[in-house]
Structure 1
Amino acid sequence: MNRAASQKRASDYLYPPIDPFDQRILPVSDGHRIYVEQCGNPDGIPVVVLHGGPGGGCSPAMRRYFDPNTYRVILFDQRGCGRSRPHASVMQNTTWHLVDDIEAIRNTLDIATWDVFGGSWGATLALIYAETHPEAVSNLILRGVFLMTQAELDWFYGGGAAQFWPDVWARFVNMIPEEERDDLIGAYAKRLFSGNMMEETRFARAWSAWENGLASIYSEGTSGESPAEYARAFARLENHYFKNKGFLEVDGQILRDADKIADIPTTIVQGRFDMICPPASAHKLAAALPRSDLRMIPLAGHALSEAGISAELVRVMDKLRYGRSAAAPA
């Protein structure tokens, strides 16, 4: 990406804003109800978008990475966040529940196969879903790869990223008494699930600020204060999943099972200076998948909102249109 391109905003590369042609609340298991929407071409190439976090929720901007004349775009809020209910709930909320929810959406919408598009935790979930249901996946499009390993958690919550951002790290760590700082995920869990709404919100905002402050190479360690409801769901769900190691059987499970998705065409878009999900994970994944294409974006971090990341993702989805059928829009 040249200097002129780096001065553009991510929105400069996206398709114009669009509204959904279908919105619904889908009852799934254990009393959870998830928000699902469809936009673009109802007869187009189906693509499901998996948001990050866990707990981040989907946003209108996520609709805009796809040519609306070509793609049938499906977005949903994962259990416990966004417009899904119960809000901020971790009960019966695991990776495997989410995999089942994705299948419930596919079957409800009568889709045989679809592209799976996900970033950060969304990339993690996309990989686990594909390894569980490879027959349902036409293409994987991944951004900011997170393999849900202990090494990655240690990097971000054990002092690795802190070597680059000691001032931001200090704000995150100083919320916790010194004697508990050897396990920050566990220490934050006590506060995020204390039952005291004010305490949960205060620590949720601190948890969110540490991550959001490092998301973009342009953020300089700062981020606006997240709304209380959003921060609480985001922090509680992330912490719940990370405390439980993503509910995987073994550390490194995604790479262990990579042979199950060896035949799925996979494109990986990775920021060279991603402080949240360092490029080593994307490199390892690409090495394990013979049909993968790793695109390392210079002068880019983790955020979907970075211009170089957005430009490449739109380019990838535009290229994937060729040679595939989509009915003309109504």
Structure 2
Amino acid sequence: MRQLYPAIEPLLQHSIPVQAPHVLHVEECGRLHGIPVVFLHGGPGAGCTPTHRRFFDPDRYRIILVDQRGAGRSTPHASLENNTTQDLIADLELVRAHLGIERWLVFGGSWGSTLALAYAATHPERVLGMILRGIFLCRDEDVAWFYQSGADRIFPDYWADYLAPIPENERGDLVLAYRRRLVGADELARMQAAKAWSTWEGRTATLRTDPATVDFFADPHHALAIARIENHYFFHGSFLRDNPLLAQADRFAHLEGEIIHGRYDVVCPIKQAFDLAAVWPKARLTVVGDAGHAVSEPGITDALIRATDRFAEQLGGHANGRG
């Protein structure tokens, strides 16, 4: 089993203003003249953590971590204003240009895989390849499985806590019911809803419930951004209903890729990975047999680091995205 690379600190940190009121937090780690790779975090709203720096060989990669609008150390925290998939794609282009990168490897998991695919479909000429984990296609049925009907049959005890803030007469559309509370003026109800929404995800993300993962998702600061921004996106069909990801596959099908997915992923069932692989012939699909959804699970970590090492060998002549 491959382990994470040793802990490292950022070489550079940037505060990059984008569309008002947002200012993005961006950090660079590793080797400034290495192969550029951009890390796209999940959620949307989860933000980057120091662990995310460690999936890449710091002697070979220029590692760029971007906290998306409203997430992590970007400001304003948990903001929904001017926050759409198309905005995030535009932000990535702005960051790429700001850092003087021509092309970069794109690495994303869960919602990060969604954003990676949407970005690659919009700007395929800027992508060296993609490493994607826990595929989330953000179709209405994918959201409904986890937030309305499906996953509740596997975790009925955790589901009961997810339902608790919502009166029975509003449970026919839980995304809408949560939206009313997450954007409402009642601060106590907003925080209660945020913790219930986010904790549901944290409890179910791993094959065996992991207390550290639950604690991260239940932390009030993280929970508010995760719940508000996820709910905002899912209420609006992730701003992808007019351009579903699979319908855009011809735009990125020529790119090299890695698809890594846990067999027992309850948050994003594995069929989404197979659906993507069916329209992306140059992607290699790896099924991790003893894992759920989380990037922290040993089999997922192992597969991701093997993938970044393979790309480092393949792209050795593409330092700074050139060549």
Q: Distance in 2 between matches of 1:258 and 1:220?
A: 35
Which of 70, 75, 81 in structure 1 is aligned with 2:65?
A: 75
The match for 1:170 is 160
* Alignment check: 8 A CA contact 1:70 1:326 kept: no
Amino acid aligned to 2:120: A
Tell me if the contact between 2:29 and 2:53 (Cα under 8 Å) persists in the aligned partners. Answer: yes
In terms of mean alpha carbon deviation, does 184-193 or 213-222 score higher?
A: 213-222
Count of matched residue pairs: 316
Q: 2:220 corresponds to which residue?
A: 228
**Residue pair 2:165, 2:192 contacting (<8 A) in 1 also:** no
Q: Does 1:244 align with 2:236?
A: yes
- Where do residues 6-17 of structure 1 align in structure 2 (5 Å cutoff)? 13-17=3-7
Name the counterpart of 1:35. Answer: 25
Query: Which of residues 199, 221, 226 in structure 2 aligns to 1:209?
Result: 199
SS in 2 for 1:209: helix
Q: Supply the AA of the counterpart residue of 2:255.
A: I
Partner residue of 1:121? 111
State how 1:38-57 maps to structure 2 within 5 Å. 38-57=28-47
What SS is found at the alignment partner of 2:20? helix
Please give the alpha-carbon distance, in whole angstroms, between the structure 1 residues aligned to 2:99 and 2:92: 11
CA distance in 2, matches of 1:195, 1:17: 41
Q: Give the Å deviation of 1:174.
A: 2.5
Q: 1:103 aligns with which of 93, 98, 109?
A: 93
Structure 1 position 220, deviation (Å): 7.2
Deviation per residue, 1:225-248 (Å, 9 max, x gap): 722121111100000000000011
Per-residue CA deviations over 1:5-28 (Å, capped at 9, x if unaligned) read: 5xxxxxx70000001110010001
Q: Secondary structure at the match of 1:199?
A: helix
- Counting aligned pairs with the same residue, the percent is 47
Task: Look up the equivalent residue of 2:200 and give its one-letter code.
Answer: W
| Equivalent pair of 1:32/1:86 in contact (CA under 8 Å) | yes
Q: Which range is displaced more, 151-160 or 272-281?
A: 151-160
Alignment of 1:18 with 2:8, yes or no, is: yes
- In structure 2, stretches of 5+ residues that fail to align are none
Deviations 1:157-178 (A, max 9, x none): 1220011111111111132111
| Residues 220/73 of structure 1: CA separation in 2 closer, same or farther (3 Å cut) | closer
Q: Distance in 2 between matches of 1:235 and 1:277?
A: 17
**CA drift at 1:184:** 0.4
Query: Does 1:148 find its partner at 2:110?
Result: no
Q: 1:326 to 1:265 in 2, by over 3 A?
A: closer
Is 1:322 paired with 2:313? yes
Greater shift in the superposed pair: 95-104 or 315-324: 315-324
Partner residue in 1 for 2:249: 258
Deviation at 1:135? 0.2
Counterpart Cα distance in 2 of 1:174 and 1:89: 25
Cα offsets for 1:19-46 (capped at 9, x unmatched): 1110010001122100000000000000
Is contact 2:207–2:291 with CA below 8 Å preserved after alignment? yes
Contact 1:142–1:268 (CA<8 Å) still a contact in 2?
yes
Tell me the SS of whatever aligns to 1:233. helix
SS of structure 1 residue aligned to 2:284: strand
Q: 1 CA distance for matches of 2:262 and 2:240?
A: 26
RMSD of equivalent CA atoms: 1.5
Amino acid at match of 1:306: E
1:91, 1:326 → 2: CA distance?
A: 37
Quote the residue 2:173 is aligned against: 183
- Which residue identity does 1:313 align to in structure 2? L
1:45-64 Cα deviation digits (max 9, x unpaired): 00000000000000000000
Question: SS at 2:218's partner residue?
Answer: coil
Residue 223 of structure 1: CA displacement?
2.5
> Counterparts of 2:318 and 2:162 in 1: how far apart (Å)?
48
Q: Tell me if 1:304 matches 2:295.
A: yes
SS in structure 1 at match of 2:93: helix
Rounded to whole Å, the distance in 2 between the matches of 1:54 and 1:23 is 21
Q: 1:308 to 1:177 in 2, by over 3 A?
A: same
Separation of aligned partners in 1, 2:313 and 2:225: 39
Instruction: State the Cα distance separating 1:196 from its structure 2 match.
Output: 2.3
Q: CA deviation at 1:326?
A: 6.6
